[in-house]
Structure 1
């Protein structure tokens, strides 16, 4: 059995009550025989990809005989963030970027801020790194204080907004983590779901050692296409690129990346972010009305600023099973370090779906 990693100062010390399954992800909740469930487990925006994006991807298929050329998409991503192309690396989803970082960045004391997406820690472990954890807690709303990260940590990974807590850390608090000799990896896979992206560090070039990861999977419904990118100093980008195989991103994925950086697409994404905000407010309001048989309430972490909400409720594992019989899949929380079996993550959906879900949740709470 693997010895659990130690927590960093300011976190919860190990050993932990249980070692979570870092390889469990929301798609496992809706595969196979349960594919017909209404999906609140996966954080991909419903109703995507849009028709115009499907058409752009389909048009790229005529060029499949040629090796993919990432230049145009790389320049499009760079222009979208006001950066030179040498600060951009296209990847087969953000998950590949975590693997490249684990392989290419020399780190003696990597630290991952949890609860958050578990692939960064998995990639670091697979590359032979000992990983420390800083476990944020419900007591302070899972909010990060930069001073809690030890100075000796030379690779720090944090999500913003954080999956699964839906916390959006202030940009300047994240930037305070930077220091000479440290690589600061900020996972901004859900930042385009935040209106105005006001906490993003993607366009910053004044933060030493900064590496920002972005994904086109969530807003545009491209999980099956695998497209994301890294933004960092040219030296870091060159190191990561050397760890990549040749032609790592397919021609259809490159076409999607270029299309999603066009002005009309950015305007559509901004509209989607505003709609997600309204739909999330509705979800939180409906959750506040749900009552269990003894008047038990569902505790939702707020403020939430991602396209998902983290909730704590009694007997959550049994409730999740009952919800499946009522036609809904939700994401278990106990596979995230720092959370236990009383937590569930709910993707934000349209109001009609939320109304149906909260009615089912009230039934599930009664058993």
Structure 2
């Protein structure tokens, strides 16, 4: 456990690239998205804007996608809204956030008046979870899987699995925003109904390139979904976002997402091979997400040099548990990676 406060929890990767024209390795949204067919579906929804949004079809589509009843599904304006709703709707005496991870869950809890404790995973352990590091009396636990920014994929079961954190009287909030970038989604808890207090958050932003549309969803026990819905404003998800959610849950879209995940995995291997050429660069691994976390001395200076060479990367020191020697890189296509490797070599030589 560590004391608060700490890093800037509201710094995000988009701040690295907004208005710069740099090649973006700072934001974890898949390049070249949304695809044309999804743009067309969203555009077709614009004819319904005079009516209030009807979330029922999208909610049913999400339920079918995960093999769950509709009562276990809530559509949200992105996963970020879900964090705010959870912080407002769920009373917690001892909320704990497992770090390093996406910082919005902690920010939302703190803004709602909660006193948040942190469990910091250790670099020496590869930032892998030890369930016994979470206090037994923690009644709300938040963890990402795969975790941003470490790219660690925690197993669902076993002594070190996320399921070991679930118990009566505790809410286990698992952020699976990047799970659809993992081929087969084999570590997902999204369809599980056997774990008490499980709340799974999903986003359509990363794979489909919909950050500007704001669409995600929550999967949980019906009484938890009802509590979140009571905390939610009326019509929180727009008609275009609902159309996107419905479209992205169709079988053809799921097959496309799986192919994209396999492509990202291959592209990540190419990135890791290029990074291995630099002896001063240590990569957190094994990486499972569409990004990698690396450590090198003088990372802040290297980051600025990379900007001079046309690349934006994500600083790591705004994530609790990391320091200024960490950088996060989004996985891109091999040609972009090769250009980046050339720029990194120059940035390291310029230090």
- TM-score, normalized by the shorter chain, greater than 0.5: yes
Q: Do the aligned residues in 2 keep the contact of 1:288 with 1:297 (CA within 8 Å)?
A: no
Distance in 1 separating the partners of 2:347 and 2:296: 11
Matches of 2:312 and 2:294, distance apart in 1: 14
Are the aligned partners of 2:146 and 2:179 in contact in 1 as well (CA < 8 Å)? yes
**What residue is the counterpart of 2:221 in the other structure?**
233
Task: Indicate whether 1:355 and 2:342 are aligned.
Answer: no
Contact 1:279 1:348 in 2 (8 A): yes
Q: Which residue of 2 aligns with 1:174?
A: 162
Q: What is aligned with 2:308?
A: 325
Matched, 1:242 2:227: no
Please, which of 266, 274, 287 is the counterpart of residue 286 of structure 1? 274
Moved over 3 A (4+): 13-16
CA–CA distance in structure 2, aligned partners of residues 15 and 182 of structure 1: 22
- Say if 2:318 is the partner of 1:335: yes
Give the aligned partner of residue 257 of structure 2: 269
Structure 2 unpaired stretches of 5+: none
Asked whether the equivalents of residues 310 and 344 of structure 1 are also in contact (C-alpha less than 8 Å), the reply is yes
Query: Distance between the aligned counterparts of 1:75 and 1:14, measured in 2?
Result: 43
TM-score w.r.t. length of structure 1: 0.94
The residue that corresponds to 1:115 in the other structure is 100
Match of 1:53 among 33, 38, 42: 38
Contact 1:41–1:330 at 8 Å: present in 2 too? yes
Contact between 2:3 and 2:117, CA under 8 Å: does it hold in 1? no
Cα deviation per residue 1:107-145 (whole Å; 9 max; x = unaligned)? Answer: 000000000000000000000000000000110000001
Q: Where do 1:54-73 residues align within 5 Å? A: 54-73=39-58
Partner residue in 2 for 1:313? 296
Distance 1:360 1:31 in 2: 20
| Structure 1 contact 110–129 (Cα < 8 Å) conserved | yes
In the alignment, does 2:18 pair up with 1:22? no
1:205 match: 193
Distance 1:15 1:28, change over 3 A: closer
Q: Where does residue 116 of structure 2 map in the other structure? A: 131
Match of 2:22 among 37, 52, 56: 37
TM-superposed deviation, 1:14: 3.9
1:41–1:345 Cα contact (<8 Å) kept: yes
Partners of 2:346 and 2:271 lie apart in 1 by: 17
Q: For 1:21-49, what per-residue CA distance to the aligned partner results, in whole angstroms no more than 9, with x for missing partners?
A: 000000000112x1x10000000000000
| C-alpha separation in 2, matches of 1:283 and 1:221 | 21
Paired residue secondary structure (1:202): coil
Q: What are the superposed Cα offsets for residues 167-206 of structure 1, whole Å, 9 maximum, x if unpaired?
A: 0000011010011100000000000000000000000000
